[in-house]
Every structure is written in structure tokens, then in C-alpha cells.
Structure 1
């Protein structure tokens, strides 16, 4: 299998992985089960309390549930504001990461040259990783707050446990981070070559020609120039010596 074909299949796999992770992260926004608690008294008074970023809900033993949104945006704690902002950033950056990946993938052929497509794919992988880290910070922070309140003996409010949305968000964030990291690694090798790779490109490139042809040619001229120059000087010296060293006898003048 050719390297280009392998990279193309890898890009498709990373895109599917990141897309699934982004869908999982988006699904946690309307899900109310971020944290929950049970009030298990008698059969008639059993009730479940659960909440998310937007509202608090209660459900009784008959299956009827009632939800109420937070009454005032300005009265919310900074914790909820930051969690909302990070979750929305995870959704937005994941969307743009998908757009950039679709443009730069080798199988779509939307972009320009191979290097340009690799750079666009590299940017898409980084955007996917940003989305995954935003989601991971949000879910981990929420889980840590819920656990801290649960084990705190001085916390007098109802103690809650982790809901299903936290685990779904963790899974989606991991898919985004892993898929974006693999995509960034392979596309970065092709689109952002290092200094040594720039100087040792394939035959036909300027850097390869400069190192392979110009420097050896210069070395050959230097190595061949000295013997030729020496032979020329030696020949002229020999001719001069022969001319000046000629002897004449008496018979030559007679």
C-alpha cells in the first residue's frame, strides 16, 4: 500500500472518530442528567433530582418530571458561566474542525496542492484537539465539584452523584483529542517539514540540486584545478629550461 493511500485512510478514520466525538459532546447539552440525587423515603415519597447547565429537574415515582430553568442569568455562579462557555466553545471549534478537515482531506480533492491540503488538515486537527480539551475541562471540573460536595461533611445541601452525561462527554472528548492528535501528526509531517527535510527533498527540488550538484561540482573543480594548473606551469618551465639550456659547438659556426 502506498504511503499516500495509507494517509488518506488514516484521515478518514480520524475524521469519523472526531465526528462521533463531536456528536457525543453536542448530545450532552440538552441532556439533564449531569448530576442527580435520590430521595428514597417511602414508596409514595420517592423522588429523583437531576440538573445540568441550564435547569433543575425533579421526577417522582409515577414517572412525571418537572424542570425549571435557572431564574436569573446574572445570579448564576462563575462556575456555571465558565462551564457553559467551555461547552459552547467545544461545539463551535468541533464544527470548524470538521469543515477544515473536509477541505484538506486527500479523498475530497477540494483544496489546492498536496502541501496546502496537508496544512489545512493540520489546522483541522488542532481545532479538533481544542474542542476535545474544552469538553474535557468542562466535564472534569463538573465531576470534581460534584465529588467534592459529596465527600464534604459540612455541605448541607442534597448530595448528588455523577450523571450519564458526564461519562458521555468524557468519551466524546477522548475521541476528539485522539483523532485530532493522530491527524495533526501525519498532516504535520507532510505539510510542515523540518529543516533537515527541507534540505533533503526529492530529486528535482532546489535544495536537493544545490547540495547534490553544486557542492560536489565545486569540489571537483577545486580538486581538478590544481593538477591542471601545476601541469601547465611544469610544461612552460620545461620549455623555458630546454630553450635556455641548449649548447652550441664550434662546428655550428663553421
Structure 2
């Protein structure tokens, strides 16, 4: 594997990990604007942890969700998946820093470094999958309620936090695929084995016919 490709994959995985950390506390996972006169116009926005509201006068108020068990199942699952994504990305970054060829942390054993790089790639892919499932599941529930004509509650729209999560998932999966491919190319030794001959070959001029004839018939023990 080209070391440049490994470095690019490491950068992609790092950016995906950073964007997960940005998307998780972002307050704009879903937003809703209630139009009215100047006083009653307000914007409601929520994420996995709290619900906030602000009006046209600049008054801003947030409250955390009071009970974990009272939340919807998809919100609880999204929380768990996002936390798992950050943990997997952290282990993936550590493994990638050890496994890439330009790093001296893993010594000169390129077979072992290739396997570690492949493990880091798998961790990045799992990180991207967890993030993708979390934000997509959350977005599915938003669109389902929005287009349901019998839904009487507040109808929300997709916020910027979900877009950040989608970008993070794509970057993490792309970086993980590159590092996983480096696992197969890193299983071969970089140094060739010494060549060993099976016998000793002596070079020299072949004996002439006269010499061979003169020695013919002599006692071999003389």
C-alpha cells in the first residue's frame, strides 16, 4: 500500500471522528418554526439531549429531557450508537497511528503493522456505520411525522446536526476502506529471504580427451 494513501485514510478517519464529536452535542438535530406575529414567532429545536426554544425577541430557553426511560426508543438507540461511534473512532485512530508504514511506533514488522492498519480500517468502518444508522434513523422519524396527515404534534424538519453526522459517516467509511485494503498488501515481507543453493558448483576447464585417455585404466587407489 502506498504510504500516501494510508496518510489520506488516516486524515479521513480523523475528520470523521472530529465531526462525530461536533454532531453529537449539536442542538439542531431537528427544528420547527411557529409563525405568527412579532411576539409569538418562535423556533423550537432539539437534539438527543435537550429541547430549546427561542423567539423573535431573543429570549432563549433550553431544558434537558427529564427522564431517559420516558424518551422514544429511537432517541435512546441514537444516543447509544453515537457514543459507540466515538469510542470506535478513538480506538481506530490509535490503531491507525501505529499501523501506518510511516509511523515508527510499531517497529519494522510490516506484517504486524499491516494487520493493525486493517484493524483500524474495520474500526473506522464500524464508526461510520454506527453514525449513519443513528442519524438516518432519527431523520426517518422526522420525515415520517412530517408527512403524516394525522400527526397532531409539532412537526419538525431536518437540522444541521444530521447533515454533519452524514458527512462524518461518509468520511469514516472512506478512510476505513483504504486502511482495510492496506491489510492485504502489508502481509508480505518487505525484505527478501536469502537465497540458498542446494549444492556446490565448481567452475573450470573441462579435461581434454588425451588427459582422460591417459588416466583411463589406472588404479584408482594409486
TM-score category by the smaller chain?
A: 0.7 to 0.9
* Contact 2:113–2:186 (CA under 8 A) maintained in structure 1: no
Task: Report Cα offsets for 1:98-128 as digits up to 9, x if no partner.
Answer: 0000011111111130100111111001001
Higher relative contact order (CA 8 A, sep 6+): 2
Name whichever of 70-79 and 134-143 sits farther off: 70-79
TM-score by length of structure 1 reads 0.73
Q: Give the secondary structure class of the aligned counterpart of 1:36.
A: strand
* Contact 2:117–2:182 (CA under 8 A) maintained in structure 1: no
Q: Of 11, 14, 28, which aligns to 1:16?
A: 11
Shift of residue 77, structure 1, vs aligned partner: 2.2
Please name the residue that 1:136 is paired with. 132
State the distance in 1 between where 2:23 and 2:191 align: 48
Q: Give the secondary structure class of the aligned counterpart of 1:62.
A: coil
Task: Report Cα offsets for 1:14-67 as digits up to 9, x if no partner.
Answer: 111111111111101111100000001111210000000001110111222111
State the distance in 2 between where 1:75 and 1:42 align: 34
State the distance in 1 between where 2:192 and 2:15 align: 41
Matched, 1:46 2:41: yes
Unaligned runs of 5+ in 1: 215-254
Please name the residue that 1:234 is paired with. none
Task: Report Cα offsets for 1:193-213 as digits up to 9, x if no partner.
Answer: 7xxxx9xx986389xx8xxx9
Q: Of 26, 44, 50, which aligns to 1:55?
A: 50
* Contact 2:75–2:138 (CA under 8 A) maintained in structure 1: no
Show the 5 A alignment for 1:47-126. Answer: 47-112=42-107, 113-126=109-122
Count of residues paired in the alignment: 198
TM-score by length of structure 2 reads 0.83
Q: Of 148, 163, 168, which aligns to 2:164?
A: 168
Please name the residue that 2:141 is paired with. 145
* Contact 2:45–2:53 (CA under 8 A) maintained in structure 1: yes
Unaligned runs of 5+ in 2: 199-222
Please identify the structure whose Cα radius of gyration is greater.
1
Q: 1:82 to 1:62 in 2, by over 3 A?
A: same
Larger helix share, 1 or 2: 1
State the distance in 1 between where 2:131 and 2:192 align: 45
Q: 1:129 to 1:53 in 2, by over 3 A?
A: same
Please name the residue that 1:204 is paired with. 193
